[in-house]
Amino acid sequence: KRAEETIQSLLRIGKRLNSTLNLNILMDALVEESIQLVGAEGGFSGLRAPEGLASQKYFRNSTIRPFKQCWPPGQGVPGWLLLHKAPYRTNDASRDKQITHEVFENLGIRSVISTPILDNQEDVIGFFEVHNKIGTSGFTQSDQDTLTAVAQTASIAIQNARLYEDAERRRQ
């Protein structure tokens, strides 16, 4: 039953992500859906910029606040994603050496799953993170696997949105 619920959730998320060609709306939906899917308190997302992975907003307990941060390759968890192109999970953020501690202390983060979004060439085009699993000791491998599936859907949606934006620019 739980597997069936997860599959239904993934289908719903895929439909929502692919229903828009606006990157801001898409990335907001990605974070909101991922938080709900794995039972997290908060999270953020970002897209690849020339200098690294850049985030604009932080979602927590149904509120959104500005959160402008950019991580170059190798710095913090998002920077780690740029180099390793694999999910990153920790349930002890206070002791994790990869965590940018001032950021995570300011946000009250205890546990993290950060997931890269890869394009067809396996390059990182974006990422999303969820923080603080609700009601348990932390995030599981199953949570990580589920978010990896979400990242595959997000990749297609982001690439479609970018193709649309390019076509609109050429048309204008």
pLDDT band at 1 (very low <50, low <70, confident <90, very high): confident
Q: What is the pLDDT of residues 24-39, one digit of tens each?
A: 999 999 999 999 999 9
Residues 6+ apart with CB under 8 A from 58: 42, 43, 44, 64, 65, 66, 67, 107
Query: Average pLDDT, stretch 45-65?
Result: 94
Query: What span, in angstroms and rounded, lies between the C-alpha atoms of 136 and 153?
Result: 27
Q: Which amino acid is it at 59?
A: F
Distances in whole angstroms, Cα of residue 119 to Cα of each of 4, 8, 13, 69, 84: 27, 24, 18, 22, 14
Q: What is the pLDDT of residues 104-154, one digit of tens each?
A: 888 889 999 999 999 999 999 999 999 999 987 799 999 999 999 999 999
**Tokens of residue 100, six digits:** 């940018």
Q: What is the pLDDT of residues 2-15, one digit of tens each?
A: 788 888 888 889 99
| Percentage with pLDDT > 90 across the chain | 76
**Whether the model pTM is above 0.95:** no
Tell me, what's the pLDDT at 64? 93
Helix pair angle (141-171, 2-17), 10° resolution? 20
